[in-house]
A and B are shown apart, each in its own frame.
Chain A
Amino acid sequence: MSSSGFDQISVEALNRRLFFVTIFVCIVFIVLVMRLWFLQGINGRSYKLKSENNRTHVQRIPSFRGLILDRNGKILVNNLPSFDLYISPEDTQDKERVFENLKTLINLDPNEVRTRLKKESKTNPYESVLVKKNLTREELVSIVTNSFNLPGVTAEPTHKRSYIYGDFAAHLIGYLGEINEKEIAGGQYPGSISGDYIGKFGVEGRLQNVLNGKSGGKKVEVDAEGRQLQVITKDKAVSGQSISLTIDKDLQALADTMLKDKTGAIVAMDPQNGEILAMASSPSFDPNAFVTGIDKSELKRLTSGTDSPFQNRAISGQYAPGSVFKIVMALAGLEEGVITPEDSIVCPGSYDFGNRTYHCWKEGGHGSVNLHRAIRESCDVYFYKLGRKLGIEKIAYYARMCGLGTKTGIELDSEKSGLIPNNEWKLKKYGVAWQPGETISASIGQSFDLVTPLQAARLISVIFNGGKVYQPKIVKWIGDEKNKSQSRPVLQGELKVKRSTLEIVKNGLIAVVNEAGGTGGRARVKQTVVAGKTGSAQVAGLDKKIKDNAWFVGIAPAENPKIAVAVIIEKGEHGGSAAGPLAGELIKQYLGFAEEEKTPVSQDTPESVEGD
């Protein structure tokens, strides 16, 4: 036997060792099979799901946001086709190179892209991330033609909101803004994800759920490079419903133009049902600026500027009503029987009460004044005395009956209630009882009284529509031309006053515009009977040098009113001259007299009076 042969002991020793080797091999085999069972048996379902997620991408199909139309169906806000830029991190191996390419091609800041990707990678490492909205034509072309240098980068078609007339009714219509994390977490925007734009203000914000519709989804099979192979399932997006507003496009445009370079607000409404025909507030903004994502300095200018361009002064601007409040006073006096139309007082130009003197706006006084003349010429002393007779509680009662001091309930956020003070309010707020002297100021709409332009427009509507307090409406219908759900007028209350009382007040208000000596002559329209009331309100708590706010509330035709208008021009001084003509123009425009002639006041009609 050679040296390489075996002896008996070696054979046994080798066999013993190979026995252990066999056991070892079997153990390893069992471990491998157990591991396979762990993966394929115990955890198989979850891996199956992962492989399913691997091979499919769910793509969102953005919904088509509803259009916004005017009362006659003219399109105010629509959607334009546009492209958004996405990066799929899964399919982008050399990210830095792609970022570099994006920077050279469309000047996209790599840092911004990096932060966007990082933010998303925590929640959804396999989803595409939106990195830029609304590519320009040039950007789209360079992305598409260089796609071989941009693995994982796609331009997805979508729609962008277009506010056709720029800052037209900006406060009423509102704007879209990118949803923030708090809003996503809040749950009031179901189906919205980061990068979505939602309505943030105005009708866009308030009726977000109506306009937005429901985004759809497309499940597509993709390979490891993210190339789409086939569509597996598809859920169509549901378009949002369109909204027809009650506003009249031409009237609104005129109102917007009138307020250019002024600070103030205009509200026009249909007195018969509360439909808002125009609502303008100035200064304003262009909602298109938010579509592409507004830059921070511009946003800061808009939100923190002293002239607050975002404030919708028509519903959240609270102003002392000044002489406009005399409408309420006349109503209360007649109805409570403390005055009759025939009663006269003498206005010497001032009124003494306690140790204070309250002046009439007319220095020499009006002389003998009855109610009709007091309204027409806005005599302060008449209403001081009336206020003394009524007391603050009665005044507040009638003011509230006319819808002042509470929110009107218009379908817009940030509406303010205004303020109609009484004793209870004063005690609660200041811990001091109401002072009789304060009643005197309140009688001409000063002291604590505050109304919004919307409330003012409704006030004059109520007088002329037979005492009906309608909730102001901005939506005419929702849906589309074939299937619309009409909005109906909502009656909130009725004036419980005698018909004769209303007639007397109406005559007074007609005289304001149409009779000699009336303060509102410049709102006169030749073709119809305009009624109204001027006001010049001191800005409460501010020093005297600041000019008064100019008010005018008007309505026409007086017999069968179709339009009520409230105009306030901050620091406009005299309601008759600063606000009255605007109301007249608006009425003419709406009633279709604007084309007939251009001169507002002809010489043969009585001169109007520049007054309070």
Chain B
Amino acid sequence: MFDRRLLQNFDWILLCLLILISAASLTNLYSAGGTQIVVKQAYWYLIGFGLLMIMTTFDYHALERLAWHIYLFTIILLVLVMVIGVISKGGQRWLKLGFINIQPSELAKLSIVIILSRFFSTHGEYPDYRLRDLWQPFLLMLLPCLLIKMQPDLGSALILAIIAFSIILIMKVRWISLFILASTVIPAAFAVYYSMKEYQKKRIYTFFNPESDPLGAGYHIIQSKIAVGSGLLTGKGFLKGTQTRLHFLPEQHTDFAFSVWSEEWGFIGSSILLVLYILLVLRGISIAKNSKDKFGSTLAIGITAIIFWQMVINVGMTIGLFPVVGIPLVLFSYGGSSVLATMLGMGLLMNISIRRFMFQ
């Protein structure tokens, strides 16, 4: 059963990137959250890397067959979380499973990628899709999105939609279909804005004008920008970030972990971290390119999209390019479910990479 080629083809670059990012994450969490948080997160990484290895042991094509099962399992978890989930921080997002709390929305990202990969691999040889060809992926995406939004976790629901749309776009949609899509999205956005509650509108307004309410709604953005900006070229030094140490920066070990890093390591440190992420993403694209079958390449694209968009939205938020949405920096912020789900994905990516020369 064991094939020596698997070991020969092992993707060391991918593993190295993951180890480097994890190391940076642990370093940063020591500054942002202290020893206890670091130890916990280190355990998650250990389990995560273990999962990653396990995920390389089977042929990923098995997932194509299991796609529906996984999808349905995820939906069941999402429904369960609404019934018996743990309520915390204004949302019902966690399922208590003995010693750990898991966040089904993290799993949903992978599930949607798997089910969409199955859809596109079984539906023709890269035709230019028309809108009517896409009703099935839309529905597949919509169901978990709505369930997650009801938790409520708008940020994760949004990420899910963006990942799905990325896959659909790369699968090549007709230009005319894109145009129709865009022409409905823009008025819809306006409609959504006008149907928003006052506090939600305020949040958007605050994003564009944070100084209007320095101690209220604009506090997060302002403090994060101050933390990042005050890092200058080389940073204030490890454990010397005043914004972090004196708690001016909110949510330091979760949503604003990148700001902590930027404050202490400066422009150089931030750029290096971003380079690691971009290399990871480019590695994912390269794996998609080299995969010899459509399911594999779509899966790789989807998993890469998960990493890419979560990174862009989180970093964009901390440096004031996007409004504050509660999305942690993937692989960097503290959080077990996120680490495990991401490592599962990375394991699959590794799996695809290892099996790039194999044919069924």
Q: List 30 A-B contacts (CB under 8 A).
A: A4-B295, A6-B293, A10-B294, A13-B126, A14-B126, A15-B289, A17-B172, A18-B170, A18-B288, A22-B285, A25-B282, A28-B312, A31-B321, A33-B271, A36-B319, A39-B229, A39-B319, A41-B233, A43-B229, A44-B233, A46-B229, A48-B229, A50-B229, A51-B227, A51-B229, A51-B248, A54-B223, A90-B215, A224-B246, A225-B247
Judged by a CB distance under 8 angstroms, whether B355 is at the interface is: no
A39 and B274 alpha carbons, distance in the complex (Å): 15
Judged by a CB distance under 8 angstroms, whether A26 is at the interface is: yes
User: Contact at A40–B262, with CB atoms within 8 Å?
Assistant: yes
Interface bits B201-245 vs A (CB < 8 Å: 1, else 0): 000000000000011000000010111111111000000001100
User: Contact at B229–A55, with CB atoms within 8 Å?
Assistant: no
Contact-size category for A: 35 or more
Judged by a CB distance under 8 angstroms, whether A221 is at the interface is: yes
Judged by a CB distance under 8 angstroms, whether A35 is at the interface is: yes
**Across-interface contacts of A341 in B (CB, < 8 A):** none
User: Contact at A224–B121, with CB atoms within 8 Å?
Assistant: no
Judged by a CB distance under 8 angstroms, whether B297 is at the interface is: yes
User: Contact at A40–B229, with CB atoms within 8 Å?
Assistant: yes
A window 1-45: CB within 8 A of B: 2-7, 9-10, 13-15, 17-18, 21-22, 25-26, 28-29, 31-33, 35-37, 39-41, 43-45
User: Contact at B247–A40, with CB atoms within 8 Å?
Assistant: no
Judged by a CB distance under 8 angstroms, whether B122 is at the interface is: yes
A25 and B293 alpha carbons, distance in the complex (Å): 23
B window 295-323: CB within 8 A of A: 295, 297, 301, 308, 312, 315-316, 319-321
Interface bits B94-126 vs A (CB < 8 Å: 1, else 0): 000000000000000000000000000110011
Judged by a CB distance under 8 angstroms, whether B184 is at the interface is: no
The contact of A47 among B228, B274, B278, B359, by CB within 8 Å, is B228
User: Contact at A32–B228, with CB atoms within 8 Å?
Assistant: no
Judged by a CB distance under 8 angstroms, whether B75 is at the interface is: no
User: Contact at B226–A54, with CB atoms within 8 Å?
Assistant: yes
User: Contact at B294–A50, with CB atoms within 8 Å?
Assistant: no
**Across-interface contacts of B266 in A (CB, < 8 A):** 40
The contact of A36 among B243, B248, B267, B359, by CB within 8 Å, is B267
A window 411-430: CB within 8 A of B: none
Judged by a CB distance under 8 angstroms, whether B331 is at the interface is: no
Interface bits B121-144 vs A (CB < 8 Å: 1, else 0): 110011000000000000000000
**Across-interface contacts of B339 in A (CB, < 8 A):** none
Judged by a CB distance under 8 angstroms, whether B292 is at the interface is: yes
**Across-interface contacts of A254 in B (CB, < 8 A):** none
A45 and B229 alpha carbons, distance in the complex (Å): 8
Identity of the chain A residue whose Cβ is nearest the Cβ of B278 in the assembled complex: A29
The contact of A35 among B226, B233, B292, B321, by CB within 8 Å, is B321
Identity of the chain A residue whose Cβ is nearest the Cβ of B125 in the assembled complex: A10
Identity of the chain B residue whose Cβ is nearest the Cβ of A40 in the assembled complex: B267
The prevalent SS among residues of B at the interface is helix
User: Contact at B274–A29, with CB atoms within 8 Å?
Assistant: yes
The prevalent SS among residues of A at the interface is helix
Judged by a CB distance under 8 angstroms, whether A339 is at the interface is: no
A-B contact count (CB 8 A): 145
Nearest Cβ distance between residue B274 and chain A, in whole angstroms? 6
**Across-interface contacts of A222 in B (CB, < 8 A):** 246
Judged by a CB distance under 8 angstroms, whether A73 is at the interface is: no
Determine which residue in A6, A10, A32, A89 has the highest number of CB atoms from chain B within 10 A of its CB, and name it: A32
User: Contact at B230–A48, with CB atoms within 8 Å?
Assistant: yes
User: Contact at B308–A229, with CB atoms within 8 Å?
Assistant: no
Identity of the chain A residue whose Cβ is nearest the Cβ of B268 in the assembled complex: A40
Nearest Cβ distance between residue A204 and chain B, in whole angstroms? 38
A603 and B249 alpha carbons, distance in the complex (Å): 91
Interface bits B52-86 vs A (CB < 8 Å: 1, else 0): 00000000010010000000000000000000000
A45 and B270 alpha carbons, distance in the complex (Å): 17
**Across-interface contacts of B233 in A (CB, < 8 A):** 40-41, 44
The contact of B242 among A13, A25, A37, A51, by CB within 8 Å, is A51
Judged by a CB distance under 8 angstroms, whether A157 is at the interface is: no
Interface bits A101-120 vs B (CB < 8 Å: 1, else 0): 00000000000000000000
A47 and B226 alpha carbons, distance in the complex (Å): 5
